Amino acid sequence: MRGGMEALPPSAALSAIFLTLLAVLAFHLFSDYVRKWNRMKRIPGLSPTYPILGNALLFKPSGEDFFLQLIEFTTKCRDEPLMKLWLGPLPFIVLFHAETVEVVLSSSKHLDKSYAYKFLHPWLGTGLLTSTGNKWRARRKLITPTFHFTILMEFLEVMNEQTNILLEKWEKKVGKGPFNCFNDITLCALDIICETAMDKKVYAQSNSDSEYIRAIYKMSDLIHRRQKMPWFWPDFLFNTFGEGKEHDEALKILHTFTEKVIEERSCKTENAEEFNHSDSDSNSWRKKKRKAFLDLILSTTDEGGNKLSQQDIREEVDTFMFEGHDTTAASINWTLYLLGSHPDALKKVHEELDDVFGNSDRPATMEDLKNLQFLQCVIKESLRLFPSVPIFGRTLLEECHVGGFKVPEGVNAMIIPYALHRDPRYFPDPEEFRPERFSHESSSKMNPYAFIPFSAGIRNCIGQKFALLEEKVILSSVLRRFHVEAKQSRDELHLVGELILRPQNGIWIELHHRTE
């Protein structure tokens, strides 16, 4: 080569290019980090905050301790419009006032979930909960019809049947002292979502020690712990030095369960179509009932006419199996706890149930449930005090003004319904259980972003009508038959705010027949 220089071998040239690109990327990331650090200095935050690690060393590892910390922070900053914290190199603004929450949730721009949701991807993929952009819009449009009012009406039969199984289990516990009702209700909700959305009976209530439920709890704990530890964000470090093995074991159980549901439903659908096509007698094949969520997913094609891949199907099924039972079960449990702790409210619920049903033990109808207005107020007040999803996050996709501060693009917004729902401006004596807050007259005056148990705006919870329907069915059936007495004080609940808000040691109640 001219000038006495020799050409680099191809491998060395590629290495040099790779290192150069890596250096450019590192410089860009560091520059972005410094820029956000400087621009967010004025926003109230936690102390101490360290470079790169941020506030991560402050956070306690257990779900209970961390949640208490976070609520303590928001309580101290109640008079501030917002606060900031740094999870490693990632900046978050923490929102717990209706006015600042509205800026994010009312926007058609800030629809992407926050960075912390990436740790859900191994389990839920990029289904409806975690997807972004065009994929989210397409899936939302696809799934919305499965929650039409007429379809919800057809779900009633399943909800009533599975609730009756729960009642028969609880008959054996009447007058036998306190018991933990949390798992029983969770299994009932799992049976309901499998049969309504997947058209698959899994008989979860017959198995009091469900491996699937235990795997959900384990996975929730592992994901929540990892989200708070930036040093375990890289997969290699998490798998080598963290809890990667436990994560993979739980993941295998969860995916095996849903894959079995999908496979069995696929075979059933194919066999039904073959039978239907081969038999010309229309009376030989009973009229097709509602199209289950899974049927719709299995038959869906993209713009090119291709069916969804097995991975696409599984991520939507995994999302619905988790979101469709765990959040609802938690809400029912919290409602039973609160009614069992407040005899006056329980008496009003019993009186309303007697007015609607009389002495009948018939299954609930849509008209019955519509008339249970006070019970609906009770459910909403329970969701205010104990929102099933206590924390969720979005990514700000453009610069915006929040609470008087300019927040740069790319910052994560952490929204805390648990703290938001305790704003004394909208909920005087916020720790008091007062279902009357949600009477039509009172709630009509409320800021719509002061109470968001199902999120709000364009990306609100698609299944909220389903959830409220299921809660009314189960609670009305239980309370028509039983008098409930809670056996824990608030201090004994030990809240664990992970993916779902749960009590550390369950919900302990005692049942008696109402006639006793």
What is the Cα–Cα distance from 243 to 247, expressed in whole angstroms?
Answer: 6
Tell me, yes or no, if the pTM score tops 0.85: yes
pLDDT band at 275 (very low <50, low <70, confident <90, very high): very low
Domain that holds residue 134: 33-279+287-513
Tens-place pLDDT, residues 109-156: 999 999 999 999 999 999 899 998 888 988 888 888 877 777 888 899
CB half-sphere exposure, 192, CA atoms < 13 A: 33
Does residue 227 fall inside a structural domain?
A: yes
CATH number of the domain enclosing 199? 1.10.630.10
Q: Does a structural domain hold residue 19? A: no
Residue 28 has pLDDT above 70, yes or no: no
Q: CB burial class (10 A; 0-12, 13-18, 19+) of residue 440?
A: exposed
In a domain, 485, yes or no: yes
95 class by beta-carbon count within 10 Å (0-12 exposed, 13-18 middle, 19+ buried): buried
The residue-averaged pLDDT of 373-382 equals: 98
* Bridge pairing between strands 412-415 and 90-95: parallel
Rounded to the nearest 10 degrees, how much is the dihedral formed by the CA atoms of 448, 394, 424, 62? 140
What percent of the chain has a predicted confidence (pLDDT) above 70? 88
Q: Which residue, among 384, 468, 368, 462, has the nearest Cα to 428 in the 3D structure? A: 384
Q: Is 28 within a domain?
A: no
Sign of the torsion angle spanned by Cα atoms 179, 182, 184, 185:
positive
240-256: b (≥16 Cβ within 10 Å) or e: eebbbeebeebbeebbe
Closest CA to 162 of 130, 186, 134: 186
| 451 lies in some domain | yes
Please enumerate in sequence order all residues whose Cβ is within 8 A of that of 367, keeping only pairs 6 or more positions apart, or say none: none
Give the per-residue SS3 of 290-318: CCCHHHHHHHCECCCCCECCHHHHHHHHH
pLDDT of residue 447: 93
- Cβ partners under 8 Å of residue 286, min gap 6: none
Query: pLDDT tens digits, residue range 297-317?
Result: 887 766 666 778 888 889 989
Report the alpha-carbon angle 80-92-220, nearest 5: 115
* Domain assignment present for 405: yes
Question: How many domains are contained in the chain?
Answer: 1
CA gap 251, 262 in Å, rounded: 16
Torsion-angle region of 179 (φ positive above 0: left; ψ -120 to 50: alpha; else: beta)? beta
pLDDT in tens, 74-113: 999 999 999 999 988 899 999 999 999 999 999 999 999 9
Whether 13 is in a domain gets the answer: no
Q: Greater confidence, 469 or 18?
A: 469
Question: Is the sign of the CA dihedral 306, 129, 138, 146 positive or negative?
Answer: positive
Give the integer Cα–Cα distance in Å for 297 and 284: 27
Q: Is residue 139 part of a domain?
A: yes
CB contact set of 377 (below 8 Å; sequence gap of 6+): 435, 436, 437, 438, 439
pLDDT at 267: 79
474 within 8 A of 188, measured Cβ to Cβ: yes
